[in-house]
């Protein structure tokens, strides 16, 4: 159903985790705010020009993938083999079509690969070398490994390899403090994602990540998995998740929000908060999500100290938040 009182609504996240004021300098905060705002504005302009919600998702996420501030695309974290392996997914709430890629190494903007799988293949998910080859055959931008590599990310990997542990890029230890030898200035908070509602009333969601530092054996988190990291359905909502992917996968977190709305008639906000603060947290799952429903309502719950989040209201106002004490 067409919406007459606005030209689109958009919300994005830049990762959830141990994001606290004392750990991020005012200068670095400004960098994050500037880049998040740039991404939101790019996607919002796309919606205002009459583009679909899926096109707005791709436009938005590409901005974040092209920034070393985030663990997606350029600047993705390193695997145990000192390579960068990226995941992304996108879903259209109108047609229920979806596309995803996992473990890609050469596609400059992973979200475009997910979109290509959705639009130009009979499949939903492609992985590894095959996904890279598909992207190349589709004419997507290809880069050498040096483009994605970041020296500070590599330093952090070396520290973790010495401890023989893997880590989300926003991990904290059991005391709620930053890991030993952790340098906040070397960090780039997390997985990125977006949800949108276009002027035709169609919702969409997309997510992109570089995964977990020091991951082995081709580990894949929730970001490329439809129903866990990304989900969209015009009848309920669109969701993009961020956090400890294993828990989001086990609880089918993004889809669970939609099911609570459909079966229990919950509002988006009630459903998203139940999943984040009860379902996930009761099992030890940390993270958050952004969501939007077909009426343009937005929800952005998280159970970690902070989550980078920004959205545009029905009146066209941009709101940017980094920390848990901001509303």
Listed by start position, the domains of the chain span 9-323
- How many C-beta neighbours within 10 Å does residue 169 have? 23
Instruction: Tell me if residue 158 falls in helix, strand or coil.
Output: helix
CB burial readout 276-290, b (16+ within 10 A) else e: beebbeeeebbbbbb
> For residue 24, what pLDDT is reported?
87
Q: Check residues 75 and 298 and name the one with the higher pLDDT.
A: 298
Averaged over 294-321, what is the pLDDT?
A: 94
Per-residue confidence (pLDDT) for residue 159, from 0 to 100:
79
The answer to whether residues 280 and 258 touch, using CB atoms and an 8 Å cutoff, is no
| Mean pLDDT within 88-101 | 98
Which top CATH class is 9-323? alpha beta
Q: What is the pLDDT of residue 192?
A: 97
327 pLDDT exceeds 90? no
Q: Where are the alpha helices (DSSP H) in the chain?
A: 26-48, 53-65, 110-120, 128-137, 145-148, 151-163, 245-250, 253-263, 268-274, 281-282
Active-site pick, 46, 79, 191, 207? 191
Q: In this predicted model, what pLDDT tens digit does every residue of 285-306 receive, in sequence order?
A: 999 999 999 999 999 999 999 9
Report the pLDDT value the prediction gives residue 6, as an integer from 0 to 100: 66
What's the average model confidence in pLDDT over 26-35? 94
252-294 tens-digit pLDDT: 999 999 999 999 999 999 999 999 999 999 999 999 999 999 9
Rounded-to-5 percentages of helix, strand, coil across the chain: 35, 25, 40
83 is catalytic: no
């Amino acid at each position: 159903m067409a919406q007459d009182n606005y030209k689109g609504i958009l919300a994005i996240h830049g990762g959830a985790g141990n994001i606290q004021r004392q750990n991020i300098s005012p200068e670095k905060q400004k960098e994050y705010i500037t880049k998040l705002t740039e991404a939101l504005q790019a996607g919002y302009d796309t919606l205002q020009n009459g583009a679909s919600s899926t096109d707005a998702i791709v436009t938005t996420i590409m901005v974040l993938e092209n920034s070393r501030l985030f663990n997606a695309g350029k600047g993705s974290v390193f695997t145990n083999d000192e390579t960068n392996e990226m995941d992304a997914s996108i879903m259209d709430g109108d047609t229920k079509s979806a596309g995803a890629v996992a473990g890609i190494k050469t596609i400059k903007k992973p979200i475009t690969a997910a979109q290509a799988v959705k639009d130009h293949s009979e499949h939903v998910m492609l992985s590894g070398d095959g996904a890279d080859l598909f992207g190349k055959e589709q004419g997507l931008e290809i880069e050498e490994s040096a483009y994605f590599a970041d020296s500070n990310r590599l330093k952090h990997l070396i520290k973790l390899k010495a401890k023989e542990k893997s880590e989300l890029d926003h991990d904290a230890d059991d005391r709620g403090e930053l890991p030993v030898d952790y340098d906040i200035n070397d960090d780039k908070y997390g997985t990125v994602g977006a949800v949108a509602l276009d002027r035709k009333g169609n919702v969409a969601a997309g997510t992109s990540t570089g995964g977990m530092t020091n991951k082995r054996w081709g580990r894949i988190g929730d970001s490329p998995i439809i129903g866990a990291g990304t989900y969209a359905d015009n009848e309920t909502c669109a969701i993009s998740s961020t956090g400890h992917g294993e828990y989001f996968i086990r609880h089918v977190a993004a889809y669970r929000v939609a099911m609570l709305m459909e079966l229990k008639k919950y509002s988006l906000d009630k459903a998203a908060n139940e999943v984040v603060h009860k379902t996930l947290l009761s099992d030890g799952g940390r993270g958050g999500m952004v969501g939007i429903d077909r009426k343009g309502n937005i929800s952005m719950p998280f159970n970690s100290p902070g989550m980078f989040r920004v959205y545009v209201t029905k009146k066209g106002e941009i709101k940017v938040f980094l920390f848990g004490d901001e509303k």
